[in-house]
A and B are shown apart, each in its own frame.
Chain A
Amino acid sequence: MKLKGAQILLRALANEGVDTIFGYPGGVVLDIYDEIYKSKFKHILVRHEQGAAHAADGYSRASGKVGVCLVTSGPGATNTVTGIVTAYMDSIPMVVFTGQVTTALIGSDAFQEADITGITRPCTKHNFIVRKVEDLARTVKEAMYIARSGRPGPVLVDLPKDVSQSETEYQESGPLKTPSQNPIYIPDLSALNEALQMIKQAKRPVVMIGGGIILGKASEDLKAFIDKVQIPVTHTLMGIGAFPGTHPLSLGMPGMHGTYYANMAITDCDLLLTIGARFDDRVTGKIDGFAPNAKIIHIDIDAASINKNVLVDLPIVSDCKSALQQLNKMLHQNHFTYPEKERKAWFEQINAWKEYAPLSYCLGNTIKPQQVIEELYRLTNGDAIITTEVGQNQMWAAQFYKFDRPNTFLTSGGLGTMGYGFPAAIGAQIAFPEKTVIDIAGDGSIQMNIQELATAVNYNIPVKICILNNGFLGMVRQWQEIFYDKRYSQTIVEQVPDFVKLAEAYGATGLRATKPDELEAVLKKGLSTPGPVIMDIAVEPEEGVYPMVKPGSPISDMDLGR
């Protein structure tokens, strides 16, 4: 039987297990939307295409599945670009379908035409333009495969209007013809053996993990490994939740706003085993001062990430799960020993650092933002999915909420996209309707995608937004305080909307706390109120995020803010 391109698209997506699409209709995708109307697909109508991309990303990060969004050509497509780059920088599997003008019109500057495959070439893992309806089913299958395989990432598929309108016989696509995408899953055994010998001999070892553990679904394997080798673990921003934050061996996050003890441990260690992390400049600080005394082992699925920023002693190209499973097998087969006296001294040193400078803040007459995060942690028993915007809100959430499970902390780490958190929370809530999902926001960043409040109300998506309202673009203000002699150029947000009234205008619930004694009641009420809620919390305006490593300094050189 002959099917229209639009029908083929939906059938191919269903075959890939897709049942949810975040999107926004338009002229060249009318045929696809007509088929969605007749289908069982759950389509979430966002209010801006950037919201669709972030929601698909949040859906993916929370569920581990490939997020899918659908938008029209031209501005619809270009509006997704920030969302695509956000996913690209954090290796999030996502497929974006964009409408395109009819093939005959491509290149003629037609109405709502944009060269979206050209625009997104450097920020997608791969992209396609489907020129014949016969290629459509196979392209969908390839796009989904490329998005989730190897080091995951976003893929864009451009669909000219005539391709979704014309008909062809639907054929199940055969095996994929992308041999270059076959990722290396089998780690080099001799290299792993060498790694194990180095681990056995190390006197002051540290394990540093990143988002690769979460993407590779290797958290359980990591925990088994750490329980056996008893090495302290530091996690990057993207690795939050990959190893339990409440585990006695957890050192928290390293880097610019990392813990004093994580940064000191990296600086002083004699072995740094890095798994699924890519040595971002926010993690390493000045490269020369990063783990200067250590042999470095780097396990990563992406060969291009190894020796890119930091030169390593033992590179191992492998996905995290295969490598950890193999290491665990080797540990099981062999008698594991380590220099006990030196390791004991190492733990004593780490405990001394923890006692010297724990993450801390002072309570006062105003609500402290860190206090809000700790209160949220307590009230949710640490069992919420937390998304963040970018800036101080993001760093305080990373520091003060303790995450024990993967896929529960959703944040734009690589690109640092303000406006990410709220639509991502919507996506996460769609994946897990029963869970508590909280977007920790600032009064600046929440306004970058505030229009999605209509989406949340529309579908009764009960996302809770907690605004740490300090009246500033806080992180930039903090840099101006430290590096620009307190000249607060354009960081004082003078005109902030009344977020309570704003919530009500959209049909959501708005609550406000201005004094410390109101905080607990407002958060409790906000978390227990059905439907979307904004909790506008007036916090200490000039509170800073500490510790802080100045850009260009080694990570051992920290301002503790006291």
Chain B
Amino acid sequence: MEVKKHTIKLIVHNKPDVLARIAGVFSGRGFNIESISANITREPEVTKIRIVTKGDSSTVTKIQNQLKKLVDVQSVSHVRDSKYGQREMVLMRLKLTDENRDNIMKMIDTCECKIVMKKGDYCVIEATGSVEDIQDLVNRFEPLGIEDLSRSGTVAL
């Protein structure tokens, strides 16, 4: 069966150890977490978690069935090509030197990134897009000198 990335969405009770329980299902049963994002919802007692994992479709079903057994998990669903899309955000800190400054500014313009902070010798930029867009963006900036970066993981409706 085809191995590919899948996004699983969980609605859980907002308890201190709920993330540890979920992570434990993955580690204990030999599944893999590619990325994870967790946020509050409009109800303070409820948290929404999205996990991107890799596997064939039967593995993803097995993961979902195991997650559903957790007492603090209210619902588990497999986010299939959502019509709202799956988005990710990235923050990158770039070193500015006399040699690369112009190239970086040009790239920022072309890629429609936003500068969130700029000092004499570095700047921090922000971008959102599909997972593929963000990967593409990181690949483009890589030769120009990324000092640090942070990706949010997938956010989906």
Mark A residues whose CB is within 8 Å of B.
Answer: 117-118, 121-122, 125-126, 146, 151, 178-181, 302-304, 306-308
Contacts and interface: CB of A to CB of B under 8 A. Distances in A.
A181 B71 contact: yes
Contacts of A181: 71
A66 to B, nearest CB: 16
Given A118-B20, A179-B74, A180-B73, A304 B28 contact: no
A180 B74 contact: yes
A307 B75 CA distance: 20
B65 A304 contact: yes
Interface string B5-44: 0000000000001001100100010000000000000000
A303 B20 contact: no
Contacts of B68: 180, 303-304
A306 B62 CA distance: 9
Contacts of B65: 303-304, 306
Nearest to B61: A307
A311 B7 CA distance: 24
Interface in B49-95: 58, 61-62, 65-66, 68-75
Interface centre among B20, B21, B69 (most CB of A within 10 A): B69
Nearest to B62: A308
A122 B17 CA distance: 12
Given A179-B74, A307-B58, A307-B61, A122 B24 contact: yes
Identify the 8 closest CB pairs spanning chains A and B, nearest first. Answer: A304-B65, A126-B71, A122-B28, A303-B65, A304-B66, A122-B24, A180-B74, A121-B24
Contact of A180 (B17, B61, B62, B70): B70
A181 B13 CA distance: 13
Interface size grouping (class) on chain B: 10 to 19
Interface string B115-153: 000000000000000000000000000000000000000
Contact of B69 (A122, A304, A306, A307): A304
A125 B74 contact: no
Nearest to B65: A304
A304 B62 CA distance: 6
30 contacts: A121-B17, A121-B20, A121-B24, A122-B24, A122-B28, A125-B71, A126-B71, A126-B72, A146-B71, A151-B69, A178-B71, A179-B74, A180-B68, A180-B70, A180-B72, A180-B73, A180-B74, A180-B75, A181-B71, A302-B69, A303-B65, A304-B62, A304-B65, A304-B66, A304-B68, A306-B65, A307-B58, A307-B61, A307-B62, A308-B62
A185 B69 CA distance: 15
Contacts of A118: 17, 20
B21 A121 contact: yes
B103 to A, nearest CB: 49
A146 B20 CA distance: 19
Given A121-B17, A121-B24, A307-B62, 18 more contacts: A117-B17, A118-B17, A118-B20, A122-B24, A122-B28, A125-B71, A126-B70, A126-B72, A146-B71, A179-B74, A180-B70, A180-B72, A180-B74, A180-B75, A303-B65, A304-B65, A304-B66, A308-B62
A308 B58 CA distance: 9
A529 to B, nearest CB: 46
A245 to B, nearest CB: 32
B109 to A, nearest CB: 49
B53 to A, nearest CB: 16
B150 to A, nearest CB: 27
A279 to B, nearest CB: 13
Contacts of A308: 62
A206 to B, nearest CB: 25
Contacts of B58: 307
Nearest to A155: B71
Contacts of B75: 180
Nearest to B25: A122
A214 to B, nearest CB: 21
Contacts of A180: 68, 70-75
A180 B75 CA distance: 8
A303 B70 CA distance: 13
A243 to B, nearest CB: 28
A178 B71 CA distance: 7
Nearest to A126: B71
A347 to B, nearest CB: 37
